[in-house]
Amino acid sequence: MSGAIMWASSGTAGKALFEGGVKAFDLVQIRVTSASIILFLFLAVFSRESLKIRAKDIGYFLLLGGIFMALVQGTYFYTISKIQVAAAILIQYLAPIFVAVYSMAFWREQATPFKIMALFLAFGGCYLVVGGYNLELLRMNRLGIMGGVSSAICFAGYSLLGEWGMHRYKPWTVLFYALVFSIPTWHILHPPFQYMHLGFDRFQWLWMLYIAVVGTILPFGLFFVGINHIRSTRASITATLEPISAGFLAFFLLGEKMEPLQILGGTMVIGAIVMLQIQQEQDMLTPAMIREEKRGIKRGGH
């Protein structure tokens, strides 16, 4: 829950910076660069073995970080710069939906009625979130919608690739090198180190540092801690607190408001994600595990 709230606060902080004249891609450069440096210093002091990777896996990290992490970061902040913070995050939360579609299409995962209903619920909810019921609002949000859907697709790809890396390395190692390999990409796609000469004031730099630490490193760490205590499926469900928190923070700090139908759409998206995660957990449980969990509940366990 703490990680979800921190992720939400970074989106709100980013929106505030954009309204103050900071460009989305400058913020992306600063975020990946500063987060990489800070995380490197932390790992060098407390977990030096986490900095070691095999030479044969450099190509993997180039793909994970140089393409998928880089695109996730860029599309995420670009979307926030164009539409409401909560709406942008909700669109990115379609990532598990795209993973489910990919799994059913290419991994022959069973397409149960429960999953199909969740998919329709998610896409219908997203249609409401972006203002599909209002042609004028839809037209205003067009670039943001394109950015958000791109972000969701890229995050789905990052998740699928990242899962492979988690079987070979510690989560901190995967996160660190994903960030590191995204740095060259953003210094090629965008003028390198341009942000050093743009004259940002002290408060802007402090908010950028906040996004690097509180919006990137800490929430990932807290999410990993959560996974160690509860299943990753349940941790993912808990993380849906992020768009809800983002909506409240953006409302109180930025004055952003979502219309009733947008709120309904957001509820549908979150509900669909929870449905898919519950289904995934049931698919992963063996009969013996289910019996053991039921015995744990009877004994007063969770």
Residue 204 has pLDDT above 90, yes or no: yes
Return the pLDDT at 105.
79
pLDDT in tens, 89-134: 888 878 877 877 887 777 777 777 877 888 888 888 878 887 777 7
Return the pLDDT at 300.
37
Angle at CA of residue 177, ends 171 and 181, nearest 5°: 150
Residues 262 and 256: their CA atoms lie apart, in Å, by 12
- Residue by residue, DSSP assigns 109-132 as ----HHHHHHHHHHHHHHHHHTTT
Return the pLDDT at 78.
93
Q: Which two tokens stand for residue 124?
A: 């219908």
Return the pLDDT at 301.
41
pLDDT in tens, 234-247: 666 667 778 888 88
φ, ψ of residue 253 to 5 degrees: the values are: -100, -30
Q: What is the mean pLDDT of residues 41-57?
A: 93
Return the pLDDT at 179.
93
Please tell me which residue, 261 or 283, carries the higher pLDDT value: 261
Residue 295, classified by CB atoms within 10 Å of its CB into exposed (0-12), middle (13-18) or buried (19+), is exposed
Q: What is the mean pLDDT of residues 7-15?
A: 91
Q: What is the mean pLDDT of residues 54-74?
A: 93
- Decide: pTM greater than 0.95: no
Instruction: Kindly list the domain boundaries of the chain, sorted by start residue.
Output: 2-298
User: Which of 78-87, 92-101, 183-192, 260-269 has the lowest average pLDDT?
Assistant: 92-101
Return the pLDDT at 248.
84
Return the pLDDT at 141.
78
Q: How many C-beta atoms surround the C-beta of residue 233 within 10 A?
A: 19
Helix axes 142-166, 85-92, angle to 10 degrees: 50
Residue 298, classified by CB atoms within 10 Å of its CB into exposed (0-12), middle (13-18) or buried (19+), is exposed
Q: Which two tokens stand for residue 76?
A: 């995420």
pLDDT in tens, 82-93: 888 888 888 887
> Where does the pLDDT of residue 279 fall: very low under 50, low under 70, confident under 90, or very high at 90 and above?
confident
